[in-house]
Structure 1
Amino acid sequence: MSWSKMKQNLESFLCPALNGRVEYRSTSYRYLPDKAGLCYIAVDKKNVLNMSDTTNPIRWYQTELEIKNDSAIQIPISHEEMEAVRKDTKGTVPEDRLIVIARSRKITEYAKELMSAQASLSKSNFIVAANKFLSTSIEESIESHDILLNVLALVDRRVGKKRMLNMTDKIKLKHPIVQYFYELRLSTF
């Protein structure tokens, strides 16, 4: 599928409030066949999602330690996770320390997922991800671990207000770019 046709298909799925605000852009190099073009997403004429751009306004984490030390990341701990830690420690650890251990384990898992998602996003081809988005259901795109599929699903008109509000807890565990597009979409309601 040509870029212009794909762009037209993607923009046809944009929610009406974001139509004209969110744009899919592409650059290509006619005389450099070994150099792939760049694809990026712009919001209000500003490039927001360009994986290779270091001036990106969204934070890209370099190490697991950065994620662990980021105070903006709030990780909710469930009762089941607390019980798993209690079982692993054979009940010898005080209650307040159990919360710290459970949170630390969950942040480590989250950091590994976030780093792998960023790595796959920086290596991925926007066109391949867009084709996957256009050929799969909206539920699969929302539940996917692929950051780009999440972003495309969040600006989709098939995702309504009720579904958006029900995703609040899941979005807290996603990459900051996904959170940015979630907040952008919530601002349209």
Structure 2
Amino acid sequence: MIYSPKWSKAKKQLKSFTCESLSSRVDFQVINYRRAHDQLGRAVITVDKVEKLNMCTITAEREEYYRERAIRKQLDNFNFDDVFHNRDIQDEAHQMLKSEAIYGQYDFFFALEQYFNASVQDSLQSSDILIKILCLLDRRIGKRTLMKMNDTIASEHPLVQYFFKLRCEAENVRVFI
């Protein structure tokens, strides 16, 4: 599954949304492995050329398999014939991974689509860690919004907190975490 609007075009759009204070420090990369059975690889967000979020498809799929097995074990249900039940288990496992910030490359592309097609306010309210990270890097988020977020940021995932602190430091906004 290759990303449908070309990655180069999406990356250009993503970089155009990145705030000026971080545009030279933050980068987004997609690495595809041609010999992989599905030709997917990983997507990476780097800060100062250091990987901060690695969204590897193989890792995500392996972890999803383990989560599905754990759910089945907990339910004591190994009936693979019920398609709807199997889908529910898979969705539950996938949501568990997303809450732990374990993403596949396809999750990155899906989050990009949502982020590009939603307002900044909707993106900030998203329960998806990846969309919140993209939003925190967005030039359309101003200092006042960052200061308002100071109260609630402590309850966010550590990666969201990291990108919040990064943005605040870049914009000279005082952080209280």
Shorter-chain TM-score bucket reads 0.5 to 0.7
Offset of 1:31 from its aligned partner? 3.0
Matched, 1:30 2:34: yes
Query: For residues 2-151 of structure 1, what are the structure 2 equivalents within 5 Å?
Result: 2-52=6-56, 117-119=98-100, 121-122=102-103, 125-151=107-133
What is the number of residues matched between the two proteins? 129
Instruction: Classify 1:167/1:161 alpha carbon distance in 2 versus 1 (closer, same or farther; 3 Å).
Output: same
Offset of 1:34 from its aligned partner? 1.8
Larger Rg: 1
Structure 1 contact 13–156 (Cα < 8 Å) conserved: yes
Matched, 1:155 2:155: no
Pairwise CA RMSD of aligned residues? 2.1
| Structure 2 alignment gaps of length 5 or more | 58-94, 172-177
Q: What SS is found at the alignment partner of 1:26?
A: strand
Instruction: Classify 1:49/1:148 alpha carbon distance in 2 versus 1 (closer, same or farther; 3 Å).
Output: same
Per-residue CA deviations over 1:132-180 (Å, capped at 9, x if unaligned) read 1011000011011000000000010000001100011221111000000
Greater RCO structure (CA 8 Å; 6+ sep)? 1
Structure 2 contact 28–43 (Cα < 8 Å) conserved: yes
Structure 1 contact 27–39 (Cα < 8 Å) conserved: yes
| Structure 1 alignment gaps of length 5 or more | 54-113
Q: What SS is found at the alignment partner of 1:181?
A: helix
TM-score normalised by structure 2 residue count: 0.67
Q: What SS is found at the alignment partner of 1:47?
A: strand
Per-residue CA deviations over 1:87-143 (Å, capped at 9, x if unaligned) read xxxxxxxxxxxxxxxxxxxxxxxxxxx956425753562011011101100001101
